[in-house]
Structures are given as structure tokens and as C-alpha cells.
A and B are shown apart, each in its own frame.
Chain A
Amino acid sequence: MLGVENKENMNIVIVGHVDHGKSTIIGRLLSDTNSLPKGKLEQVKETCRRNSKPFEYAFLLDALKDEQAQGITIDSARCFFKTKKRNYIIIDAPGHIEFLKNMITGASSADAALLVIDASEGIQENSRRHGYMLSLLGIKQIAVLINKMDIIDYEEKKYNKIVNEYKSFLKKIDIKTEIFLPISGFYGDNVVNKSDRTKWYKNFTVLEVLDNFNAGKTALENAFRMPVQDIYKFTNNGDNRRIIAGTVESGKLKVGDEIVFYPSGKKSKVKSLEVFNAEPPETVSAGESVGFTLKDQIYVKRGELAVIHEQEKPKVTSRIKVNMFWLSKDPMIIDKEYLLKINTAKVFAKIEKINKIIDASTLEDFEKNEIERHDVAECILKLERAIAFNLANEIISISRFVIIDNYEISGGGIITEALEDKQSWVRDKILLRNYKWEISEITNDERAEKYNQKATLILITGKKDVGKKNLAKALEYQLFKDGKIVYFLGIGNVLYGIDADIKGMMNNKENVEHLRRLAEVSNILLDAGIILIVTAVELTQNDLELIKATINTDRIETIWIGDEITSDIHVDLHLPVIKSEEDTVNKIKNLLQEKGIIFKPF
């Protein structure tokens, strides 16, 4: 039987200072391994002849007209080539300083790197900068190619001088490589074939070095981590599955595992692993794009990090210490709001403090109050809300973030430390409560079936004195008459009891605490399967988010009473005026029926 070809794939990035000969080396590799399409070489030679330019291997890569006109590689092109051992994708990262972002793009997907230094020019700014970036991007396998050996007459002494100088630089940035090669891309020395002109060099050719690299290791040995990418519920053809989807970054998962989602701290058990066109697997592991359903109907959002309960917890905070680089023309400045994306989470972020700027080519520190293009900085970022992650030295793939400015990815970095923040106390409470929560043997679905209703929080909001309380009571009574298990939680019931210690202080901080307590009480009642009615004055979207984060169900219906919605909240139902209570109650009942919370009578 004809199986799948089992050769491994490896991504290699090639970096170095402009004009140090990267494209020539790739052209030579492709040509000497017969990896070019028929007629391509002749076609390029013919183009050169017509343009009265001497032929160079680099032109092979310049498949684009514009690029040839400009004479520099401006984007990370991919070239395919294979040896007996592997299929390679060579990512050509440009050397021109303006195109550092493309170098990072190219290098971030690579398993190993070739760094090119021109023997006649020696170590240049970008030779060091690219070396530093490789270390920041976490690429540990690096071979240094001393190119254009023909120009220095293949002299061992001159070669050794460059090698020693660069080795001492690499040592400072924690890169340990012993792989240095004297080559000439132009004449092909030590690229694919061993050269007679460097008899003093006894080691491998570039091709052999590539085959000796190790393919990227999977992170199987680590704890389970999966950033939630999305939650799917496609109701087509009676499909009732509610699937949590994402790509496993590390570890393994199986049915029955107890999962905790961070930063919310909500937990449940894996009910099933979902797939299409295959048998459901026993386990899923790092690198797989997967989906699973949960035993309990808990409210989980994109951006949360799924972790196995018994395993090591991730860090959760809204203040982080980072090492980062900046790519955009406009510098990153203090007090400006940026978007930070980490895994599937997206939050607003500001610089709290720039600890230092590091010159990537000289490794000197200096102080600045902004991060300019191509700078590498150590700073503290303050986030709008908490995120879940691990530190760079724990699990690198979930410690990496990018910064968006004006719709563009403008910078990126790794988190080196989780710092304390102001909301730690609230968050820690919810985290601990969810962590310690006793999940009942009776599932939400079982309760729903027994009570003929789905536990739901009905939030009635709007301006003061528009009749919210009376409406809530009328709704409670009507649902009760219909046989529903329903409760109206009056604000007074909370304020003078649970809130007795903070009542009358109600500043911003106490207000948040009041909402937290209200949400905690609601959470217990909802867990019992009740339809709960609560009223509140002019709830904001932020308030709603806090309530959502606190309660363990995604069934919240918000209703705004009054002509005009005066806060930023997104509501499910807007009722401009209460004509008659009966009419309004019926409208709300309709909403509940449409959403399947209570049944529509036949």
C-alpha cells in the first residue's frame, strides 16, 4: 500500500547583514541540489543577458519584477528543497535594516537558523542584531556561515579572527553554537560540495549541517495548556454540541480530565473529544487543533487558557514585566493605549515603566522614555484586565505576545515576570471559589429537565424611577403562576444584609465589591436551577462583564427600560416605555420563550 511519505519537514531561516550573500547561498543550494524547475536557471540567465547584468544566483530568488528593480530581498520568501533526510523550507529573511519585521516573521516559524557574515566586511550591525533577535525568538540551533571566502583568498587566519570575535558576542547573549563554516556562495565552496580551496577546514558542508539539525521538539512533557480559540454551537440538523475549540500548546488531554479555565477559574470535566470524519481519539496532545465538550454548562470565553486541574497553575495578573522589540515607525510611548495579543486573548495595554533600552548590536543599556523602531526594551506593562500565561522560562509558547498599534502588529516580546495588581484580591477570590466549588452530581441539564426551565439571570436595568422594581415583581408573579421556579432578588435584600459592612461607603471600590457580592449570591441561586430576577440602575457593559465573569452560566438576559439607553451596555431587549405591566411582562416572556429558557405553549 502506498503510505504517506514519512520524511520530516524543517523550517530554516537565513539571516545576516545586507549584501552578505544570503540569496546567493540559497540560489546555490537550490541549483547544486537540482531543486530548480526546468528552464528556470536558463530563464533567469536570459533575463540578465537582456538587462546587461552579470548573472548571480541571487536572481533566481528574485521572482518578482519589483524586487529585481530594487535589488534587495524585501520579504521572507519561502523556498522548498529536499535532501534524502528531510524536506526543507528555507525562509529568506531580508538583511536591510528597514525590514527587520520581515526577519522576525521569517525567524519566528523556524526550527534553526543560518546566519551569514561576509568574510571581507566582517561583523556588521545586523550580524549582531539578528543574532540577538534569534536568541529573543528562542531559536537555539544556529550555524554561522562565513561567506565570500573567495574574496579573502580562503585564508584561515582571517576566518578565525571573525569566528572568535562573533563567538564572544554570542556568548554574551546566551547562544552556544560551535558551528562555523567557511563558504563561498558564489563559487559553491562548502555549500553542497566540500571545497579543495579550504583544505584546513575538516568539518561539514552547509547541506550536512542542515541534516544534522534536530527538528522542533514537541512540548509533550509539559503541563496541558490550550488557549480557547472559540466556542461553537452550530444548531444545524439538530446538533446540540457546545464545543470548546483551540490548539493544544503543550501537554495532553483525555475524556474525564478536570479542566480549569483561567483567568476566570471556572472548572468542569471533559465530556467528549470531538472530531470530524474520524473516530474520536483517546487523547489529544501538543500541536493538535482540537475540540471538546464539557460536562457542565459553564460560561467560557475566547482568550481563556484551559489547564488540567491537578497540574501546575498558570500565572494570572494584569501587570507584567517583559522583554520586547518594537517594529513600527511610530515609537511606543508612555500613557498611550495599545492592544496586546497573547495566544487568543486580546487586551488593552499601557507602558507603566520602561526599565531600560538595550542596543541589540552593542548590548549596552540606556535610558529613554519611549521605545523606538528596532529598539529592544525591558519594561512593565499594565493591562486593562488580567490574562493567563506562563513565563518565558516555563512554557515559552504561552509567554509570547504582540502589540497592535493602529491596526498593525508593531512589536512583540516575552513575559519574564508576573507582577501584583490592584484587582488581585477580587480575582483571587473568584479563582479560589471556583477552584473549591463543589460540582453537583446533578447536572444543569438534569435540573433544567426536572424544572422545565433553564436557570437564567434576568437583569432589568435603566434609569432611576422607571418602574423596574414593580415590573420585576409582576414578572416574578406571572412566571410563578406559570409553574416556574423563580425568585426576585430585591436590592434591599442584599444592601442591608450581605452588604451591611460596606453600605453607605459606596465609592468606586465599594461599588465593585457590591456587584461582586450580588453576583456571588446570584451564582448560588442560578446553580440551584432558579430563574433569578435582579434590578439595577444604569448597568454598564463593564458591570455586566464583571457579573458574567463571576457567575458560572452564560444565560443572562438584559432588559433596558426607558426611551434611551444611557450606558454603553448591549442589551437583549429594549423596552422604551411600560404601557401596561401585563404587556411588558408578556414581551419578556416572549423573549424567554424564543431563547428556549421556558417552553412555548402549544
Chain B
Amino acid sequence: MNHLRKLENKSIFIIREAYSQFKNLCALWSIGKDSTVILWLIRKAFFGHVPIPLVHIDTSFKIPEMIQYRDRLALEWNLNMIYGINKDALKKKDTFPDKNVSRLQCCKNLKTEALKNTLNGTWARYRFNHDTKKYEIDKNNEPYTGVILGVRADEEGSRSKERYFSPRDRYNDWILEDQPPEFWNQYKTDFAPGTHVRIHPLLDWTELNIWEYIELEKIPTVSLYYNMGDGKRYRSLGCWPCTSPVESDAKNVKEIIEELRTGRFSNIAERSGREQDKEDMGGLEQLRRDGYM
């Protein structure tokens, strides 16, 4: 079995384990390459079906193509698509693009807060209605107790300390010292009321693995990842005011794989185009403690 199939099998096992053990399970879909691979693995795990809701946090500053791509796949793959948004902060213009708060605070407002309150059901969840093809407020506001995420260990320091099943207590705190052990395919699936568990099926994957797998399975991705003629492409996707592309000639998946293999980026962090990381000296750690993904 080659290394991609090995990774795939383990990830599928983890996804099935989560599905079998958590009543209120969802997957976070940021529209980026990693969580899109997660979505694909869910389809593989359940033989073409996607039996859990996909949750997207809309900051309103996402690159428009990302939203179009999201809704196209939601329709084509018959997804139970849900998004959450911090309407209040947007109304008050407590955002970085409005020049009212720092980048870090903006991330907190539009992502961390929105995510926390969407997951626990405090704020409205907008669900895609496949008949009307419009989003409407979801009647279900039960908290999600399990959340599947596309986090990878090779991204940066704080993420390499993660577990496949990582419990957060009711305040979303991340208690590093107290992480339960994981061995022999046994994970933390028994939990006290009030906790929720984050599940990371891609923990062992690298950026190169992700692209190799996208190529192998022909998974559709957003064109923002490719050089469309201007000599630039995005390596990591986020909100347009805080994300910049890298210089690259790669026009398709194969060329990205080639580019990564030549080691052109081996000394440049994948998220180097993400400005908020630079403000957080701990390399996302502060943000992650507060519940950022």
C-alpha cells in the first residue's frame, strides 16, 4: 500500500469512528484544500454519502470565488450545508478592513466568536435548502458535540501538539497538559456533558500529501490555488484583506506537486501569506487557545 492509501485508510477509520460515537457531529469546511480533502474522505468513508452537516464560517471577506464554489458543490454533492456569521460585529464594523480593530482581533470577532456560537447553537445557523436553493435559518440549534477539522501537524508549531481526538471543555479551552492518551486506534470518545471534541483525521498528512491526493482522486478545487496567468497563486486561502498570493508558475495540481517536490517552498511556511499569524508571536497559539481552527 503506498503512503497516500495508508493515510487515506487511517483518516477514514477516524471519520467512521467519529460518526459512530458522536450523536451531534459536523465537519468544518473552510473551502480550502485541506477541509475539501476531508469532505472527499467523508464521501469515501460513507460510500458516496455525506451523512453529517458541513459548517462554514462566513466572514463576509472571503474571496467571492470561494463562496460560489461552496454552493456549487453543496448542490452537486447534495450536502447538508450550514454557515454561521458574526452579524453583530459586521454591523458595528468591528473589523480590520473597516480599520477599527487589529487583524488578530478581527480574526477573533469574525472567526473564533462566530465559530464558537455557531457550534454551540447560540447564534443562527443558515442551512441550504435544496428545493429553493437558498439559505434559511436552521431550526436545529442543538450544540455539536463532535467537530471534524482539516488540521495538519506540519502546518506550524502549535498544531503539531494536537491529537486525533482533542477534547475542549465547555469554554472551548485547550488544556494541553491534560490531553488524553491515544493508542492502538482507541480515541477519546467518552466525554462528560459540556465538553466537545475536535477530530483531526488529517493530522499525519503534509501539504504535499494533500496535493498528491487531490491529483490521485481528481478532487475539484478552487482556481485560486493556481496561477491563472499573473504569475501568482494562493498557497493558503483566507479573507482577502489578510491573504496574499505567492509567486508561482504552477497552473494545475501536477505543477503544484512538482513545485512542492523541488523544495521551492521548503523553507517558507505554508501560511506565510496569512498576515494574522505574524501578529500572533506564538504562531497561532493564542488564537488556537481561544478556539480558532
Residues of A within 8 A of B (CB): 2, 4-9, 36-39, 63-66, 74-75, 77-80, 87, 89, 101-102, 104-105, 107-109, 137, 218, 229-230, 232, 234, 236-237, 239, 241, 243, 245, 247, 274-277, 287-289, 291, 302, 327, 339, 341, 343-344, 397, 400, 402, 404, 407-409, 412
Q: Which residues of A contact B129 (CB under 8 A)?
A: none
Q: Which residues of A contact B46 (CB under 8 A)?
A: 232, 234, 276
| Complex CA distance for A582 and B257, rounded to whole angstroms | 70
A87, A243, A408: the one contacting B188 at CB < 8 Å is A408
B3, B163, B269: the one contacting A8 at CB < 8 Å is B3
Smallest beta-carbon distance B283→chain A, Å: 6
Sample of 14 more A-B contacts, CB < 8 Å, known A36-B267, A75-B176, A237-B78: A39-B267, A63-B156, A78-B153, A89-B204, A104-B183, A105-B163, A105-B182, A232-B49, A234-B51, A245-B16, A287-B9, A288-B1, A289-B45, A343-B185
Q: Which residue of chain B has the shortest Cβ distance to A79 in the bound complex?
A: B160
Q: Say yes or no: B254 contacts A2, CB within 8 Å.
A: yes
| Complex CA distance for A102 and B4, rounded to whole angstroms | 26
Q: List 21 A-B contacts (CB under 8 A).
A: A6-B2, A7-B3, A37-B267, A63-B156, A63-B283, A64-B176, A75-B176, A78-B160, A80-B153, A104-B181, A108-B183, A137-B183, A230-B16, A234-B47, A241-B47, A274-B47, A276-B48, A277-B48, A289-B8, A409-B180, A412-B183
Q: Which residues of B contact A104 (CB under 8 A)?
A: 181, 183
Q: Say yes or no: A247 contacts B269, CB within 8 Å.
A: no
Judged by a CB distance under 8 angstroms, whether B277 is at the interface is no
Q: Which residues of B contact A7 (CB under 8 A)?
A: 3
| Complex CA distance for A592 and B277, rounded to whole angstroms | 59
Smallest beta-carbon distance A413→chain B, Å: 10
Residues of B within 8 A of A (CB): 1-6, 8-10, 12-13, 16-17, 19-20, 43-49, 51, 78, 153-154, 156-158, 160-161, 163, 176-177, 179-186, 188, 190-192, 204, 206, 208, 212, 215-217, 254, 257-258, 261, 266-269, 281-283, 285
Q: Which residue of chain B has the shortest Cβ distance to A1 in the bound complex?
A: B254
Smallest beta-carbon distance A276→chain B, Å: 5
| Complex CA distance for A77 and B3, rounded to whole angstroms | 21
Given contacts A108-B183, A276-B47, A407-B192, contact A63 B160 (CB under 8 A): yes
| Complex CA distance for A79 and B160, rounded to whole angstroms | 8
Smallest beta-carbon distance B23→chain A, Å: 14
| Complex CA distance for A75 and B181, rounded to whole angstroms | 10
Residue from B10, B179, B184 having most chain A Cβ neighbours under 10 A: B184
Q: Which residues of A contact B180 (CB under 8 A)?
A: 101, 408-409
Q: Which residues of B contact A275 (CB under 8 A)?
A: 44, 47
Q: Which residues of A contact B206 (CB under 8 A)?
A: 80
Q: Which residue of chain A has the shortest Cβ distance to B188 in the bound complex?
A: A409
Q: Which residue of chain A has the shortest Cβ distance to B163 in the bound complex?
A: A105
